[in-house]
């Protein structure tokens, strides 16, 4: 490969362009009206306008992106995360256009993207799944009631398609179930075009642990250890760290082996993440879902094992294996997602012009961002504007380093979640590692 198109924007587009430069590949950016002055447009070797600010008419328009790819004569397309990164039709069209898709096979995206199918595949590969009920539409009201009593309340109502916690509802009794089913189904249909739902036992005292995997199709898979993503707000991750605090290493080892089993069972290709719920009360873990792309929080894995995951994605798409070092977490890394939101006003989005900007620095401080002084944050896209990552010898040192980095991080002209993260770094439950 000599030229790669990045079908994305923001900090992940910048991140991919950096790896392209390291490898000596030319990079091609695409941009909407809102992003004509964006950093990724300036960093790339070539840049093409693909439409209006609305993502449906630009970053989600795969025909426009493929047209650019053919015009620019690129060898491959990297989708980043979000937008079209888990769209199997987009992946198939790229492959049909004789362009390398830097991601898993379309059929894998399709099967693992549907939570019902993914649960069944996990079951077939002997990976523990949370007690639940699929194919609700085929059950009578009485049958459904009996199945719910077997699981026990509270129960979680979830959409089969999509993610991000959209439509998710916790119900505490059968009398509340019908209303929750309708609500989740309607929201899922609007968001994903698929209103199918399923039920799952709600684990009330849980941690959210994910395992980074790399697959080589029929040649099996490997894992690159865990990330703890339990610190969430509105089902969205806000702080991630690795290694996971206060979870026995033998449990992490079992999760990692389960992740490898599932990825190998589905002949997974490239980078992916398998997510688990860990029941703190019963010391059991359950498969949650698989993300068939690079994760937002991939930098903390890169930091603790000194490994460029984007570079390896490109290598695997080229038909190569990742290098065979014995990767093992040697450091502790924490990531704070910095959003353009007002934490003192119900976290409302805060688009606008950045008037003053000062980045933190120093040993073990990494900042993945696309913003600069004078940059106007558009209201059209996700509010995340930066990922602040620190790495240290242990968790206590990492938290101290994050405090200092947050204190140094100055953004004026808009509201951000920096002060919110600064408070979290002093939160007793977070400091003790006893959060859920």
Give the residue numbers marked as catalytic: 293
Please give the structure tokens belonging to residue 189: 């249909």
Nearest 10 degrees: Cα torsion 129, 131, 136, 140? 150
Distance CA 325, CA 407 (A): 37
Strands, E assignment, 217-283:
221-233, 236-242, 269-279
Query: How far, CA to CA in Å, does 226 sit from each of 108, 109, 255, 300, 374?
Result: 22, 22, 9, 10, 37
Please give the structure tokens belonging to residue 72: 């620019």
For residue 337, the tally of other CB atoms under 10 A from its CB is 21
Please list the residues that pair with 199 across neighbouring strands.
133, 157
Please give the structure tokens belonging to residue 350: 């805060």
Distance CA 289, CA 136 (A): 19
**φ, ψ at 332 (rounded to 5°):** -120, 130
Please give the structure tokens belonging to residue 375: 């940059």
User: What's the order of all strands across the beta sheet hosting 197-201?
Assistant: 132-133, 197-201, 155-159, 169-171
3-state secondary structure 281-335: CCCEEEEEEEECCCCCCHHHHHHHHCCCHHHHHHHHHCCCCCCCCCCCCCCEEEE
Residues 6+ apart with CB under 8 A from 103: 79, 85, 91, 109, 269, 270, 292, 293, 313, 317
Q: Which helix (H) or strand (E) holds 357?
A: strand 356-358
């Amino acid at each position: 490969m000599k030229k790669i198109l990045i079908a994305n924007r923001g900090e992940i587009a910048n991140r991919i362009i950096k790896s392209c430069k390291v490898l000596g590949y030319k990079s091609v950016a695409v941009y909407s009206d809102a992003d004509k002055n964006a950093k990724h447009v300036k960093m790339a070797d070539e840049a093409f306008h693909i439409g209006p600010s609305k993502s449906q008419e630009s970053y989600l328009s795969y025909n426009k992106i493929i047209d650019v790819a053919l015009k620019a004569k690129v060898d491959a397309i990297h989708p980043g995360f979000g937008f079209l990164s888990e769209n199997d039709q987009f992946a198939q069209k790229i492959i049909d256009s004789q362009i390398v898709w830097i991601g898993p096979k379309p059929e894998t995206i399709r099967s693992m993207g549907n939570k019902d199918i993914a649960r069944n595949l996990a079951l077939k590969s002997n990976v523990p799944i949370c007690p639940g009920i699929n194919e609700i539409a085929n059950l009578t009201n009485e049958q459904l009631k009996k199945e719910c009593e077997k699981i026990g309340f509270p129960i979680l109502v979830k959409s089969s398609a999509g993610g991000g916690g959209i439509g998710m509802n916790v119900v505490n009794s059968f009398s509340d179930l019908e209303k929750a089913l309708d609500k989740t189904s309607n929201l899922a249909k609007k968001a994903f075009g698929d209103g199918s739902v399923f039920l799952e036992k709600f684990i009330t005292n849980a941690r959210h642990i994910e395992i980074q995997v790399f697959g080589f199709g029929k040649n099996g898979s490997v894992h690159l250890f865990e990330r703890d993503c339990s610190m969430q707000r509105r089902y969205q991750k806000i702080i991630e760290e690795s290694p996971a605090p206060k979870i026995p290493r033998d449990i992490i080892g079992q999760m990692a082996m389960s992740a490898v089993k599932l990825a190998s069972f589905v002949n997974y290709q490239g980078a992916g993440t398998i997510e688990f719920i860990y029941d703190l009360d019963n010391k059991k873990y359950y498969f949650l879902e698989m993300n068939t792309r690079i994760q937002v929080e991939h930098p903390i894995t890169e930091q603790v094992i000194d490994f460029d995951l984007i570079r390896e994605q490109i290598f695997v798409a080229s038909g190569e294996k990742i290098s065979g070092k014995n990767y093992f977490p040697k450091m502790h890394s924490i990531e704070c997602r910095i959003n353009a939101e007002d934490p003192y006003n119900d976290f409302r989005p805060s688009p606008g012009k950045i008037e003053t900007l000062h980045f933190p620095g120093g040993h073990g401080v990494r900042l993945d961002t696309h913003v600069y002084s004078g940059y106007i944050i558009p209201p059209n896209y996700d509010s995340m504007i930066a990922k602040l990552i620190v790495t240290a010898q242990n968790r206590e040192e990492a938290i101290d380093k994050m405090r200092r980095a947050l204190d140094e991080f100055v953004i004026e002209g808009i509201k951000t979640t920096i002060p919110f993260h600064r408070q979290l770094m002093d939160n007793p439950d977070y400091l003790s590692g006893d959060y859920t």
